[in-house]
Amino acid sequence: MTNTAARPSGRLVRRWARFALMAVVAAAFLLPFYWALVLSVATRANVFTMPPDLVPSWDFISWARVFTLAPWGLYFLHSVIITGATIIAVLVTGVLAGYALAEVPFRGREVVMGVLLAGLMVPPEAILIPNYVVAYHLHLLNSLAGQVVPFGANVFAVFLFRQFFKTLPVELWDASRMDGARWWQYLRHIAVPLARPVVMTVTLLTFVAQWSQFQWPLIITQGNGARPVEVALSYLQGFDGSHWRELAAASLLTLAPIFVVFLLTQRHLISSVAGRAQI
Amino acid sequence: MAQIEWDHVSKWFGPVAAVHNISLVARDHEFLVLLGPSGCGKTTTLRMAAGLEDPTSGRLLLGERDVTHVEPRDRDLAMVFQNYALYPHMTVYDNLAFGLKLRKTSPQAVRRAVEDAAARLGLESLLARRPRELSGGQRQRVALGRAMVRQPQAFLMDEPLSNLDATLRAETRVQLKALHAQLATTIVYVTHDQVEAMTLATRIVVMNGGVIQQVGTPDAIYDRPVNQFVAHFIGTPGMNMLPVLWGRVDGALAAIVGSQRLPLPPGLPWMRAAESAVSHAATVGVRPEHLRVAAAPETGTPSLKARIRLVEPMGHETLVHLDLDPDLTLVARTPDRWPHSNIPVWVSFDPRHLHVFDPVSQVAYEAV
Amino acid sequence: MVETVPSQPSPPPVAIGPRAPVRRRSFNLGWALVLPALAFLALFTYLPAVLVAAISLFQWNLAGFSSSHWVGLQHYAQLLNPISGFLQSLTVTAYYVGMMVPLSIALGLGLAWLVKNRGPRLTAWETFTRSAVFLPYITPAIATSIIWIFIFNPQFGLANAVLSALHLPALGWLTSTTWALPAVMINNLWHNVGFMVILFLAALSNVPQDVVEAAWMDGANGAVAFWHIIRPHLSPVMLLAVILGTIQAMQTFGSIYQMTGGQFGGGGGPLNSTTTTAIYLYKSAFVYFHYGYGAAVGVVLFLVMLGVALAQKKIGERHTFYR
């Protein structure tokens, strides 16, 4: 153990043991997804068996039946609208505030910074009830807007944009002024296009957060009017808990956009989450 | 009319005056160079003309129009920045076109203007590239092109050549001069490099400490510096400065330099000022190229005894460092080669090449 | 030809200059730009943070203050009464957090060590395993909790299949007051450990390799090298992991709700064995509609979380090296 270089065979064994362990870990973490897939394409006969059947039988009837159990298209539409609108709102508020805090000197800027930082200290769980009260008085209950507005600004996004804009050389602003740009044209044509990695990070983090949003939509939506997929899924399990195959299919349906985005943007997504933790 | 006028303009950064009460006119079609050491206020002066800095007091006029509080976009001036400040995410074409697009120029007109500027600067083959794919010289040309496409009333250039290597700088300097002749517009140009200033300028503005020291043609600045700062700042090496006391030799005015006496012929333009001065002291300046070094004293011209301390051979000329007294040194530029050091020699010069400055105010006597 | 005589060759007098006139609209522009963000946050963060304390003093009616009934500190007295179940929810939360934080840190550190790149670049296996471990972290909790409900099904679930393969007795899992919370923990460990792995991977990459190698050369074995060389480098991240892990665990809602019968009365079963404070707060306000009482729970939760964060920071500062 003390001198591995002198014992190549020992090192080889260790390397293979590590690969085997990594394979086991990866399999264990992916197993729930895999089993859900198996369940969703199982025939009725091989759902309730002990030990559980781990070989898929590729019967897609449950996938079709999911859509007869509930209006999934509508729920998806809601979730897409909510997520999309929140991303836009967070980007707009983040870019504007980040730009102001980075490049526009104004009286009270330090105060604004302090107020924003204080906002990070408020645990969302603790203010659930007053949030509901505010939403009630703004007539946001049971609406799509009610699921966007509370998340329309994100302190983390503001700071990310501020940090990035601070790194831009001031000559770019001077040059664009000489070219005739106003501040918003500078933002639109120069600063924001250059901030693409930050835009991407904020988009990904907001997407993941909003697609998974559950408690808030659970308390403010009733019926199908504004219900997003996560809440719909929760109800489906509540009322049709024995429909394992359909539930598995519906769960995978909800997970699908996340999988797709993860596969496309893996590296950026992981570093975004890592960056978020450091703030 | 593309005349830019600074009218009693000052700029304070907190308690520090970067520019102090300057009045200056860049005339139409003129190549005006603001020259000075770093921190002398030349860039601030330029940026106030651009509208990128607000003057603390005073007015800025474009032609007859008061633009003191007018945004840069409404001044119709273009600027070339020291580090070029190209938009990194845009192609060369888009960099050139950006200003025109913002002004809602028709696409055809944009294309024509960009292609025209690209052709003049030899950028045609680079239009699709991004700044990071360009060499320093190419970037510099793109920065120039971006200023040219809009056909502004005047160009403002902030040390546009300082990020180029020496060879490229010399080439670009020549191109810039040709371009000025071609475009026939006003250029205000900031530099700390006197060679650029001398070669390019119609007139030079020498600045120091936020104050204009002298304005004049390159020749005037070189031949008749109004004070010690200008005299020493222009020329490489700078003008030799020697503290002297006035005395009389056989009734004629003579300068006492260290332990030596330097008889002077009568009738030099500054003599009356020197004689009527309260002080018996002055500073005498003489440019290195006006000094002659010889093994024996010349007859008919004032000569000083010296010793060669150090020789810097440059090929076409030689810089000879001389000691008059332990604390009095001179540098001479001579076409002769002086191989050895520590040789006793004689230094002589035409007294008409002497510049005499008041030791307190440092102002040249001719200028009084 | 001398055209201009210097007015003043000496530097200008350095006096207190006039301040630059505030001419630009920067004062207004700056505020205008931060206003949208502040408005959103004001409505759903700052105002509620104040409002929560006010609401907790009323028998709250949604119509507003005028139709609500002032009860003073009565709700807080109720909280302290064991009958209310609040204290029990704190116990459950403490148990949950007390298990989750060390487990997820230990597991996260172990996994980070496993998937850490040994060579200069990542191998395909390392990348794949990292992705597999991270993926659950970004999945929506309800969708994955439903899968875990299947896994923990006492008759047909994978969990008991594994136990029986190991010749261990089958468990009731979510139907058992003892095993329901551990089942939730397993789900959330699986779900959240990827975050810890990322946190520790970043920290491990900061451990100078030459120091570790020097220790090997000096004859240190793995455990010794870890304890004396790597652990000190990890301690700042460890503090972060403890704080973030605690905050995350305290706010866990969706998975507990879903796995413990949320659709049948708000979750937390069986017999309140999984009623954490988050579940308790939700049920008070949105199952029993005692908004004022729920707000009091929120205030306590707020204070507890603030206290935990401050305490951990204080303790952490004393034991953290290499800050």
SS (H, E, C) chain B: CCCEEEEEEEEEECCEEEEEEEEEEECCCCEEEEECCCCCCHHHHHHHHHCCCCCCEEEEEECCEECCCCCHHHCCEEEECCCCCCCCCCCHHHHHHHHHHHCCCCHHHHHHHHHHHHHHHCCHHHCCCCHHHCCHHHHHHHHHHHHHHCCCCEEEEECCCCCCCHHHHHHHHHHHHHHHHHHCCEEEEEECCHHHHHHHCCEEEEEECCEEEEEECHHHHHHCCCEHHHHHHCCCCCCEEEEEEEEEECCEEEEEECCEEEECCCCCCCHHHHHHCCCCEEEEEECHHHCEEECCCCCCCCEEEEEEEEEEECCCCEEEEEEEECCEEEEEEECCCCCCCCCEEEEECCHHHCEEECCCCCEECCCC
Confidence of residue C211 (pLDDT cuts 50, 70, 90): confident
> Which residues on chain B place their C-beta less than 8 Å from a C-beta of chain A?
47, 50-52, 71-73, 77-79, 81, 83, 85-89, 98-99, 102-103, 146, 150
Confidence of residue C21 (pLDDT cuts 50, 70, 90): very low
The answer to whether the Cβ–Cβ distance between C34 and A101 falls below 8 Å is yes
Q: CA distances (Å), A243 to each of A49, A60, B34, C21, in order?
A: 14, 14, 83, 72
CB neighbour burial string for B50-75, b if at least 16 within 10 angstroms, e if fewer: bbbbebbebebebeeeebbeeebbeb
pLDDT at B254: 85
Give the residue from B236, B282, B232 showing the smallest Cα distance to B262: B282
Cis peptide before B237 (omega within 30 of 0): yes
* A54: DSSP letter: -
Give the residue from B356, B29, B365, B362 showing the smallest Cα distance to B213: B362
> DSSP letter string over C63-117?
T-GGGSEE-TTHHHHHHHSGGGSHHHHHHHHHHHHHHHHHHHHHHHHHHHHHHS-
pLDDT at A130: 96
The pair of structure tokens assigned to C26 is: 């920067």
**Closest CA–CA distance from residue C37 to any residue of chain B (Å):** 28
Mean pLDDT of chain A: 91
pLDDT at B236: 84
Within 8 A of B72 by CB-CB distance, chain A residues are 177-178, 180
**Closest CA–CA distance from residue B366 to any residue of chain C (Å):** 10
Confidence of residue A7 (pLDDT cuts 50, 70, 90): low
- The rounded distance, in Å, linking the Cα atoms of C184 and C254 is 11
Tokens 């960056």 correspond to what residue? A275
* Contacts of the segment B356-359: beta carbons below 8 A, 24+ positions apart: B356/B270, B356/B273, B356/B274, B356/B282, B356/B283, B356/B284, B356/B285, B357/B227, B357/B228, B357/B231, B357/B241, B357/B282, B357/B283, B357/B284, B357/B285, B358/B277, B358/B279, B358/B282, B358/B283, B359/B243, B359/B279, B359/B281, B359/B282, B359/B283
ipTM for the predicted complex: 0.92
CB A277 within 8 A of CB C195: yes
- The rounded distance, in Å, linking the Cα atoms of C46 and B114 is 52
pLDDT at C2: 40
**Closest CA–CA distance from residue A206 to any residue of chain B (Å):** 25
* Residue A279 in this model has a pLDDT that exceeds 60: no
- The rounded distance, in Å, linking the Cα atoms of C53 and C55 is 6
Q: What is the CATH number of domain C82-139+177-289?
A: 1.10.3720.10
Which one of C41, C67, C191 makes the best mutation probe of the A interface by having the most chain A beta carbons within 10 Å? C41
The domain locations on chain A are: 4-59, 71-278
The pair of structure tokens assigned to B151 is: 């056909």
Q: What is the CATH number of domain B4-233?
A: 3.40.50.300
- Subunits with 3+ Cβ pairs within 8 Å of B are A, C
Shortest CA distance from C21: residue in chain B: B56
φ/ψ of residue B188, rounded to 5 = -110, 125
Name residue A54's amino acid: L
φ/ψ of residue B256, rounded to 5 = -100, 115
Within 8 A of A167 by CB-CB distance, chain B residues are none
The pair of structure tokens assigned to B70 is: 């007018």
CA-based radius of gyration for chain C = 28
* C59: DSSP letter: E
Which one of C4, C23, C24, C25 makes the best mutation probe of the B interface by having the most chain B beta carbons within 10 Å? C4
H helix runs in chain C, sequence order? 26-41, 47-55, 74-80, 86-115, 124-134, 141-151, 158-165, 180-204, 209-217, 222-225, 231-251, 254-259, 277-286, 291-319
Q: Which of B88, B89, B102 is nearest residue A179 as measured by Cβ atoms? A: B102
For C213-223, write each residue's pLDDT tens digit: 777 777 667 67
Q: Which of C14, C15, C18 is nearest residue B56 as measured by Cβ atoms? A: C18
- The rounded distance, in Å, linking the Cα atoms of B190 and B33 is 6
* Residue A192 in this model has a pLDDT that exceeds 60: yes
**Closest CA–CA distance from residue C294 to any residue of chain A (Å):** 7
Q: Which of A172, A174, A178 is nearest residue B87 as measured by Cβ atoms? A: A172
* A70: DSSP letter: S
Within 8 A of A93 by CB-CB distance, chain C residues are 36-37, 40
- Subunits with 3+ Cβ pairs within 8 Å of A are B, C
- Summarize the confidence of residues A111-116 as an average pLDDT: 94
The domain locations on chain C are: 82-139+177-289
**Closest CA–CA distance from residue A180 to any residue of chain B (Å):** 4
* C271: DSSP letter: T
pLDDT at C320: 53
The answer to whether the Cβ–Cβ distance between C135 and A93 falls below 8 Å is no
The pair of structure tokens assigned to C103 is: 């487990």
Q: Which of A122, A251, A258 is nearest residue C49 as measured by Cβ atoms? A: A122
The answer to whether the Cβ–Cβ distance between A180 and B83 falls below 8 Å is no
Give the residue from B46, B73, B254 showing the smallest Cα distance to B159: B46
**Would you call C211 helix, strand, or coil by DSSP?**
helix
**Which CATH topology does A71-278 take?**
MetI-like fold (1.10.3720)
Within 8 A of B71 by CB-CB distance, chain A residues are 177
The domain locations on chain B are: 4-233, 240-357
The answer to whether the Cβ–Cβ distance between C295 and A23 falls below 8 Å is no
pLDDT at A1: 42
> DSSP letter string over A187-251?
IIIIIHHHTHHHHHHHHHHHHHHHHT--HHHHHH--TTSS--HHHHHHHHHHH-TT-HHHHHHHH
The answer to whether the Cβ–Cβ distance between A127 and C151 falls below 8 Å is no
* C294: DSSP letter: H
- The rounded distance, in Å, linking the Cα atoms of C65 and B305 is 102
Q: Which of B14, B217, B227 is nearest residue C6 as measured by Cβ atoms? A: B227
Per residue of chain B (368 residues), give pLDDT as tens: 589 999 999 999 988 899 999 999 999 999 999 999 998 999 999 999 999 999 999 999 999 999 999 999 999 999 999 999 999 999 999 999 999 999 999 999 999 999 999 999 999 999 999 999 999 999 999 999 999 998 999 999 999 999 999 999 999 999 999 999 998 899 999 999 999 999 999 999 999 999 999 999 999 999 999 999 999 999 888 899 999 988 877 777 888 888 888 888 888 888 877 777 767 888 999 999 999 998 888 887 888 999 998 899 888 899 999 999 888 899 999 988 887 778 889 999 888 889 999 888 888 887 54
* Residue A2 in this model has a pLDDT that exceeds 60: no
Cβ within 8 Å of residue A9, ≥6 positions away: none
Give the residue from C280, C274, C283, C279 showing the smallest Cα distance to C175: C274
pLDDT at B187: 96
Q: CA distances (Å), A30 to each of A160, C126, C134, in order?
A: 32, 15, 10
Give the residue from B225, B166, B175 showing the smallest Cα distance to B199: B175
pLDDT at B18: 94
Within 8 A of A152 by CB-CB distance, chain C residues are 40
Q: CA distances (Å), A261 to each of A72, A89, A255, B156, in order?
A: 20, 20, 10, 49
Q: What is the CATH number of domain B240-357?
A: 2.40.50.140
- The rounded distance, in Å, linking the Cα atoms of A136 and C122 is 51
CA C234 to chain centre: 19
HSE on the CB side for C144, CA within 13 Å?
28
Interface list for A 172-201 with B (CB within 8 A): 172, 174-182, 185, 189-190, 193-194
Q: Which of A180, A182, A193 is nearest residue B89 as measured by Cβ atoms? A: A193
CB C214 within 8 A of CB C288: no
Which one of B44, B71, B81 makes the best mutation probe of the A interface by having the most chain A beta carbons within 10 Å? B81
CB C157 within 8 A of CB C151: yes
For A231-278, write each residue's pLDDT tens digit: 999 999 888 778 899 999 999 999 999 999 999 998 899 888 888 776
The answer to whether the Cβ–Cβ distance between B220 and C3 falls below 8 Å is yes
- The rounded distance, in Å, linking the Cα atoms of C274 and C252 is 11
* Residue C17 in this model has a pLDDT that exceeds 70: no
Q: Which of C2, C17, C20 is nearest residue B15 as measured by Cβ atoms? A: C17
Q: Which residue has the higher pLDDT, C198 or A53?
A: C198
* Residue C262 in this model has a pLDDT that exceeds 50: yes
